[in-house]
Amino acid sequence: MARRVIKAYPDADAGLEVGRNAVRLSGGRESLIYIESNGVYIVGPISILSQPENIRIGASWTLPPAYKAALPSTAVNPQPILEANSPVEGFSSLAEEVANLLGELL
């Protein structure tokens, strides 16, 4: 399969490049997302527009809520860097969505 490139204009820096084993989404010369079998690479400035507790690290961890960052971490009152957060509630809402979709299709 040949490499495919999608751009709004032929001379544009931004575009989407799809190859046999990798995808590259470019927002310009200095920012891109590159996805290949070794992982996902993000180059350039990053803005995450979400509350910290909505940012998942791995399958079972989230960042603590923002108000906890104001509390100092001491030996008496340690503050965790990550909080255990089971994805079960996400699975249950996903199962509900799938059931609704199947109900509409059948």
Interior/surface letters 20-58, b for 16+ CB within 10 angstroms, e for the rest:
eeeebbbeeeeebebeeeeeeeeeeeeeeeeeeeeeeee
Q: What is the pLDDT along the chain (106 residues), one digit of tens a residue?
A: 578 888 888 888 899 999 988 999 999 888 999 999 889 999 999 888 888 888 888 878 888 888 887 888 888 888 888 888 876 766 667 777 778 887 777 6
